[in-house]
Amino acid sequence: MRPITYARAADAATAIAAVSADPGSAFLAGGTTEVDLLRQNVLTPRHLIDINDLPLNSIEPQPDGALRIGALARMSDVAADPLVRERYPMIAQALELGASAQLRHMASMGGNMMQRVRCSYFRDAESPCNKREPGTGCPAIEGVSRGHAVLGVSEHCVATHPSDVAVALAALQARVHTQGPGEETHAYAFDDFFLLPGSTPDREHPLAHGELITAIEVPAVPVARRSLYLKVRDRESYEFALVSVAAALSLVDGTIADVRLALGGVATRPWRAMHAEDFLIGAVAQRANFEQAARVELSTARPTPMNAFKVELAQRAMVRALETLANGSPA
């Protein structure tokens, strides 16, 4: 770990100004990923601005029915919030299936959006990695890639986006609010906030240096009251998803009136399953249609030999999630 200076900011403007002014600086929120990566020399800022004192931890319903979650709200607080649990069970479940209790108490929602990939080549500061050092290559593609992505991959990067809650937020079309230097604010559509690796896997978000996430806004999504988050992994707790599904479903007379689907563990960003949703709207809620929808969504998958099983597993998980909701017993 390199020598680092550290300061605590009392308000957002000061924090943003400090980081914007110095390309070698970074925000520090819960630190549950960032500090690990500092120790491993994967992240190399010279100056950290601690933003934990900023008043950004409230969870507030909005007049239009949306819910605004402060960027510094802790994962455990959001999971426990009665409005979150009532309106968006998939968010609460995704949070509670993520990390460990200790980490959830510390990790912030804004930090969760910014968390870095778990690819072991990225996290080893001395391996080649296009995300860490553009142009050095991607050893994961022919290396140990069991946990890597099959959707949204490029020949430059196959790292899986690790977040659980971001998968639920993708299904819900949340918006990410930020504040930049000069106090200007911006709201990103969720899909716009997470960039596909393409030929620039080092660029994960459209943010300017020093631009700070202030809140995540979850719109009113009535169908989400009947929703779930299904997470498939080797062990029962404290592991990232091999495959996960955030799903919401409403039926009218056995026909799908509304549906939300997103995938985690299989894609380079939280993966809204648009093709599957399009197929399902108006379709009869039956297994054959669920299977077809899952097939459609995974038809563009590009697996490695080691993670080819994820293509099948993701489809089965989607079918399971939809059947569970269709049969009236979410989670």
Partner 1 sequence: MTATAPPAPAIGQSLDRVDGRQKVTGAARYSAEIPLHGIAYAHLVGARIAGGRITAVDAGAARAADGVLAVLTHENLEKIASLPPLLPSLAGSAAPGQTFFPMQDATVHYAGQPVAVVVADTHERARHAASLVRVRYEESSSVTTIDQGRDQAYEPEAIFADFIPGRSGRGDIEAGIAQAEALVQGEFSYAANHHNPIEPSATTAQWDGDELVLHDATQGVNATRLTVAALLGLPITKVRVVSHFVGGSFGSKAMIWHHPALAAMAAREVGRPVKLSLTREQMFTSCGHREEQEQRITLGATRDGKLTALRHHKLSPTSPFDHWAEPSLGVASQIYGCPHYEGVYRLIRANTMTPTFTRCPGEASGMHALECSMDELAQQLGLDPLELRLRNISDTDPATGHPWSSSGLKECYERGAARFGWHDRDPEPGRRREGHWLIGTGMATAGYPVYQPNNPQRARARIYADGTAVVQAATPDFGTGVATVMTQVAAETLGISVDRCRFENGDTDLPNISAAVGSSGAGMISAAVHTAAKALRDQLVTRAVADSGSPLHGADPATVTVRDGVMTAGSDAESYADLLRRNFQPDAEASGAWMPAEATEQYGMMTFGAQFAEVAVDAELGLIRVRRLTGAFAPGRVLNPKTCRSQLIGGMLWGLGQALLESNRMQPRTGRWANSNLGEYLIAVNADVPDVDIELVDVEDRIVNPLGVKGVGEVGQVGVSAAIANAVHHATGRRVRKVPITIEDML
Per CB under 8 A, residues contacting partner 1 are 1-3, 39, 41, 118, 120, 125-126, 139, 142-144, 146-147, 232, 234-240, 242, 309, 312-313, 316-317, 320
Phi, psi of 294 (to 5 degrees): -65, -40
Distance CA 50, CA 5 (A): 11
Distance CA 269, CA 263 (A): 9
Cβ 331 to partner 1 shortest distance, Å: 13
Distance CA 60, CA 50 (A): 24
Distance CA 188, CA 209 (A): 16
Handedness of CA 271, 276, 282, 283 (dihedral sign): negative
Phi, psi of 250 (to 5 degrees): -130, 140
Phi, psi of 222 (to 5 degrees): -55, -35
Asked if 131 and 178 count as a contact pair (C-beta separation under 8 A), the reply is no
Looking at beta carbons only, is 39 or 209 nearer to partner 1?
39
Handedness of CA 251, 266, 201, 133 (dihedral sign): positive
Looking at beta carbons only, is 139 or 181 nearer to partner 1?
139
Task: Identify any residues that bridge with 274 across adjacent strands, giving them in sequence order.
Answer: none
Q: List Cβ neighbours of 220 (8 Å cut-off, separation of 6 or more).
A: 64, 65, 66, 87
